[in-house]
Amino acid sequence: MSTAIPSSTVHDVEASPAGSARAGGIGALVATATFLFGIVLFVTQLADFTAPDTTVADSVAFLVDNEEVLFVGYAVIYLLFGLAIVPLVRALQQRLHRAEPELSAMSAVFGYIWVGLMFATGMVLTIGMGAVADMAGDSAQAQSLFTAIDTVGNGLGGGNELVGGVWILLVSRAAQRAAALPRWLNVLGIVTALAGIVTVIPALTEVGMVFGLGCIAWFAAVGRELLVRP
């Protein structure tokens, strides 16, 4: 009796890394789109909501008038982004694990933590902002709830970019050592990551814009690499 493994099974096993890379590449491009969407949304329709001189009362009033826009924005920026980077984290770990098993494993941990934080932030904000809108008739209560939800949301995923920065830094360093991605892309990743990490310092939170713009370029380039050279 033959014990040979069917050729279709061997093909499926061998093709799985390529399939993972394609899924990760698509995820990276979706992540790029969510960053672009967020930047455009916040400098256009939500400009008044994010202005530095906006008071809590102004924010609550804006939320009541634009609840649907805020819901879609937070769902895309946090929930869709979180979904998109799951296959990307997996694909990059597979790409790097043979040459850099320790770094790739550590990077995946931070990548999945970032996913969890994005989901938590998105759910807190989408559900919480709806609750604020429902309480709009009681101005004091609505403002108090808004402040609490905004603080929790910032603490989980909007106040600084430490976790995302550490993930990109570990991936870029592992890829640099393994020559798994182009050299320029690893340098871009390291610079972007450092810009995110320093946002833990209150005086440097504005550097988060550098992180956001760097992420757009990094996600787009990584997505292309995974699709073109799986």
pLDDT tens per residue across span 210-222: 999 999 999 999 9
* Long-range contacts of the stretch 150-154 (C-beta < 8 A, 24+): 150/59, 152/124, 152/128, 153/121, 153/124, 153/125, 153/128
pLDDT tens per residue across span 114-149: 999 999 999 999 999 999 999 988 999 999 999 999
The confidence score (pLDDT) of residue 37 equals 96
* Sign of CA pseudo-dihedral 76, 118, 215, 151: positive
pLDDT tens per residue across span 72-121: 999 999 999 999 999 999 999 999 999 999 999 999 999 999 999 999 99
Domain boundaries, the chain: 19-158+218-228
138-165 mean pLDDT = 92
Q: From CA 9, how far away is CA 81, in angstroms rounded?
A: 33
Question: What is the pTM (predicted TM-score) of this model?
Answer: 0.89
14-35 mean pLDDT = 87
The confidence score (pLDDT) of residue 143 equals 94
DSSP secondary structure string for all residues of 51-101? -TT--HHHHHHHHHHTHHHHHHHHIIIIIIHHHHHHHHHHHHHHHHTTT-H
Give me the percent of the chain exceeding a pLDDT of 70. Answer: 93
The confidence score (pLDDT) of residue 16 equals 61
